[in-house]
């Protein structure tokens, strides 16, 4: 593999998450093996001590318990070194107030990646945007270590963490109930059943007497998850 190919190589949805060992603010991690049996979101940010990244870390750290309740761990990365990470996280805790957040402690691991080994492995270095900083990449890795979704944002645009949580909940509902989720879906709303071609024809469903299912057309059926199924999702 030549250098240019290495820079642009990136995993795809459905691939096994590429393995690596890395030093982090919480000690050494073996990814994704250490997270087997749990969901994990691996995300990159361009640089420590930058304002957009600071707002993102404060937001993600404040929401960490909500992700933990969904059986999901968080792992951050930038191409800065460990001492920069430690100093930046200390500054966040001691000095930064943003919206209603202050004294925010970041307890999830932040990978040091000065060599860019991990960021290249995951296609986080996108030279058209920056060849010295990682873009804002987000990888959703399932409990079996498979990449299930990826989202990339440019350096300029801070992420929407409610959307990251919504995507995680959708993936978990898809796995649990063999359904798909419509545009802007939120837990408690109708889901699409079953994904086209995966279980009987829509005509059979339309003609059937399953009272839970509402067919809008031959290709388009919806249902509400049972109260306890929907309620089980945080």
Q: Show the tokens assigned to 131.
A: 């060849």
Q: Taking the chain, what is the end-to-end CA distance rounded to the nearest angstrom? A: 44
Binding flag, residue 53, ligand BEZ (CB under 6 A): yes
Q: Which residues are catalytic?
A: 53
Could you tell me which stretch among 50-58, 86-94, 141-149, 162-170 binds ligand BEZ (CB under 6 A)? 50-58
Tell the smallest beta-carbon distance from residue 159 to ligand BEZ (Å).
11
Binding flag, residue 52, ligand BEZ (CB under 6 A): yes
Binding flag, residue 230, ligand BEZ (CB under 6 A): no
- What is the CA angle 109-113-115, rounded to 5? 165
Binding flag, residue 70, ligand BEZ (CB under 6 A): no
Binders of ligand BEZ: how many residues, by CB under 6 A? 9
Could you tell me which stretch among 47-55, 93-101, 108-116, 176-184 binds ligand BEZ (CB under 6 A)? 47-55
Whether the ω angle into residue 210 lies within 30 degrees of 0, i.e. cis, is: no
Q: Quickly tell me which residue has 């430690």 as its tokens.
A: 86
Whether the ω angle into residue 4 lies within 30 degrees of 0, i.e. cis, is: no
User: Phi/psi class of residue 129: alpha, beta or left (left: φ > 0; alpha: ψ in -120 to 50)?
Assistant: alpha
The 82-121 site mask, x for binding ligand BEZ (CB under 6 A), equals ----------------------------------------
Distance CA 101, CA 99 (A): 6
With contact defined as beta carbons under 8 Å apart, do 193 and 219 qualify?
no
- Pick from 82, 101, 155, 213 the residue near ligand BEZ by CB under 6 A: 155
Of residues 161 and 185, the one with the C-beta less far from ligand BEZ: 161
- Pick from 19, 36, 51, 114 the residue near ligand BEZ by CB under 6 A: 51
Of residues 92 and 141, the one with the C-beta less far from ligand BEZ: 92
Task: Identify the CA nearest to 72 among candidates 42, 104, 116.
Answer: 42
Tell the smallest beta-carbon distance from residue 126 to ligand BEZ (Å).
13
Binding flag, residue 46, ligand BEZ (CB under 6 A): yes
**If you count them, how many residues does the chain have?**
234
Distance CA 14, CA 69 (A): 24
What does the binding site for ligand BEZ look like in residue numbers (CB under 6 A)?
46-47, 50-53, 133, 155-156
């Amino acid at each position: 593999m030549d250098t240019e190919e290495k820079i642009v190589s990136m995993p795809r949805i459905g691939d096994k998450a590429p393995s690596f060992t890395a030093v982090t603010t919480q000690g050494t991690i073996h990814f994704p093996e250490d997270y087997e049996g749990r969901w994990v979101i691996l995300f990159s940010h361009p640089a420590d001590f930058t304002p957009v990244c600071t707002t993102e870390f404060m937001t993600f750290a404040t929401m960490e318990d909500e992700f933990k309740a969904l059986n999901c761990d968080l792992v951050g990365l930038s191409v800065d070194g460990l001492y920069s990470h430690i100093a930046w996280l200390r500054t966040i805790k001691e000095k930064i107030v943003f919206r209603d957040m202050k004294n925010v402690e970041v307890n999830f691991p932040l990978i040091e990646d000065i060599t860019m080994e991990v960021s290249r492995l995951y296609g986080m270095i996108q030279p058209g945007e920056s060849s010295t900083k990682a873009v804002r990449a987000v990888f959703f890795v399932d409990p079996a270590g498979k990449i299930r979704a990826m989202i990339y944002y440019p350096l300029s645009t801070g992420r929407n963490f409610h959307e990251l949580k919504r995507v995680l909940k959708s993936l978990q509902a898809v796995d649990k109930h063999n359904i798909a989720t419509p545009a802007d879906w939120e837990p408690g709303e109708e889901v699409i059943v079953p994904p086209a071609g995966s279980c009987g024809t829509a005509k059979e469903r339309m003609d059937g007497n399953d009272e839970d299912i509402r067919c809008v057309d031959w290709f388009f059926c919806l249902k509400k998850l049972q109260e306890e199924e929907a309620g089980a999702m945080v």
